Amino acid sequence: MLDRKLVLAALVLIAAVFLCGCTSDGGDDTGTEATTVAPTAPMESGTPATPEFLKIATTTSLDNTGLLETLKEEFEKDHDVTLQIIAAGTGKALEYGERGDVDVLMVHDRAREDIFMDNGYGINRRVFAYNYFMIVGPESDPAGIAGMTPEDAFIAIYEGAQTNPEVVMVSRGDNSGTHAEEKAIWTSAGYNYTSEIAGSGDWYVEGGQGMGATLQMANELQAYTVSDSGTYLAYQGDIELVPLVEEGDILLNIYGAMMINPEKFSYVNAEMAKEWINFLITPATQEIIADFGVEEYGQPLFFPALGNYEILGVPQEETEQPIP
Q: How far is CA 210 from CA 64, 89, 166, 188, 228, in A?
A: 9, 7, 24, 24, 11
Residues 65-112 have pLDDT tens digits of: 999 999 999 999 999 999 999 998 899 999 999 999 999 999 999 999
User: Phi and psi dihedrals of 245, rounded to 5?
Assistant: -135, 120
Question: What's the pLDDT score for residue 89?
Answer: 85
Strands 82-88 and 53-59: parallel
Question: What's the pLDDT score for residue 3?
Answer: 53
Q: Is the pLDDT of residue 297 over 50?
A: yes
Residues 12-33 have pLDDT tens digits of: 444 443 333 333 333 333 333 4
* Higher pLDDT among residues 125 and 8, named by residue: 125
The residue extents of the domains of the chain are 23-130+254-320, 132-251
Q: Give the whole-angstrom CA distance, residue 21 versus residue 284.
A: 39
Over residues 309-322, mean pLDDT:
96
Question: What's the pLDDT score for residue 46?
Answer: 55
Q: Is the pLDDT of residue 183 over 70?
A: yes
Residues 282-293 have pLDDT tens digits of: 999 999 999 999
Asked, colleague to colleague, whether 23-130+254-320 and 132-251 share their fold, the answer is: yes
User: Please, what is the average pLDDT of the chain?
Assistant: 88
Question: What's the pLDDT score for residue 267?
Answer: 96
CATH hierarchy code of domain 132-251: 3.40.190.10
pLDDT band at 52 (very low <50, low <70, confident <90, very high): confident
Over residues 240-250, mean pLDDT:
97
Question: What's the pLDDT score for residue 47?
Answer: 56
Q: Is the pLDDT of residue 204 over 70?
A: yes
Residues 38-50 have pLDDT tens digits of: 333 334 555 554 4
Question: What's the pLDDT score for residue 18?
Answer: 35
Question: What's the pLDDT score for residue 48?
Answer: 54
Domain 23-130+254-320 architecture: 3-Layer(aba) Sandwich (3.40)
What angle in degrees, to the nearest 10, is found between the helix axes of 150-161 and 177-188?
80
Residues 147-167 have pLDDT tens digits of: 999 999 999 999 999 999 999
Cβ atoms of residues 97 and 260 within 8 Å: yes
Question: DSSP 3-state assignment of 229?
Answer: helix
